[in-house]
């Protein structure tokens, strides 16, 4: 390797004389030094640190997919990745634009959350895997239909059959009925 040569070049349009300017006589040699240094840095880096996360795929299911207000809905998500998906920020479950909960992901990629959806209508549920050093982020969607609880209609009378004989094989002859008032449940 040769050292740079120092030459004196005149300044342009000034009367202050000359200045010293460094010119690289052999620029190719210095480029080779820089390239060798960068190669040594890259070669000494760990392969794990240089590896980028691999792709992942997420699926989600809601059980039941139709429920009444007050009934819990199980949201089960699964992330598939060739690496271990369990470290990192886990799985975030969303109801539309609202975060429900972020839960950990198991080493086999499972994440489960019991949701209490409190409004009537169709809920778009998103399971968003947040990724880690091994697996990239991914997401999936499903829907849950929530309906209002409909109270059962109370009976207006209570009846039971009357049999002629005490035998279990005898056919009922007629029914005995009593009125029943649902606002004050008692016999009249």
Residue 53's pLDDT is: 80
**Residue 175: its pLDDT value, please?**
66
Ranges in the chain annotated CATH 2.60.40.730 = 56-147
Res 183 pLDDT > 80: no
Which is it for the CA torsion 42, 45, 49, 51, positive or negative?
A: positive
Higher pLDDT, 169 or 37: 169
pLDDT of residue 150: 80
pLDDT tens-digit readout, 122-131: 999 999 999 9
What's the pLDDT score for residue 69? Answer: 94
- Regarding predicted confidence, which is higher, 5 or 20? 5
Provide the mean pLDDT of the chain. Answer: 75
pLDDT at residue 153 in the model: 76
168 — pLDDT class (breaks 50, 70, 90): low
Residue 59 has pLDDT above 60, yes or no: yes
The residue-averaged pLDDT of 131-136 equals: 92
Q: Looking at the predicted structure, is the pLDDT value of residue 181 above 50? A: yes
The pair of three-digit structure tokens given for residue 59, joined into one six-digit string: 């699926």
CA distance 60 to 110: 10
**Distance between CA 106 and CA 84 in Å, rounded?**
9
Residue 34 scores a pLDDT above 50? no
pLDDT at 21: 44
Q: Are strands 56-63 and 121-129 parallel, antiparallel or unpaired?
A: unpaired
| pLDDT at 3 (0 to 100) | 53
Contact 72, 111 (CB under 8 A): no
What's the full length of the chain, in residues? 188
Residue that wins the pLDDT comparison between 153 and 97? 97
Q: Which CATH class is domain 56-147?
A: mainly beta
Predicted pLDDT of residue 52: 73
pLDDT at 97 over 80: yes
Tell me the percentage of the chain whose pLDDT exceeds 90. 47
């Amino acid at each position: 390797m040769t050292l740079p040569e120092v030459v004196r070049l005149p300044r342009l349009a000034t009367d202050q004389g000359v200045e010293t300017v460094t010119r690289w006589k052999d620029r190719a040699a210095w480029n080779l030094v820089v390239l060798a240094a960068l190669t040594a840095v890259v070669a000494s880096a760990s392969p794990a640190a240089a590896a980028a996360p691999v792709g992942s795929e997420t699926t989600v299911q809601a059980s039941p997919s139709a429920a009444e207000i007050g009934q819990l809905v199980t949201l089960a998500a699964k992330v598939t990745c060739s690496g271990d998906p369990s470290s990192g920020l886990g799985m975030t479950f969303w109801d539309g634009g609202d975060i429900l909960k972020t839960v950990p992901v198991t080493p086999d990629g499972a994440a489960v959350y019991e949701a209490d959806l409190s409004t009537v209508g169709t809920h778009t549920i998103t399971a968003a895997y947040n990724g880690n050093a091994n697996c990239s982020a991914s997401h999936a969607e499903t829907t849950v239909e929530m309906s209002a609880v409909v109270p059962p209609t109370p009976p207006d009378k209570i009846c039971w059959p009357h049999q002629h004989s005490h035998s279990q094989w005898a056919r009922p002859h007629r029914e005995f009925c009593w009125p029943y008032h649902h606002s004050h449940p008692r016999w009249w």
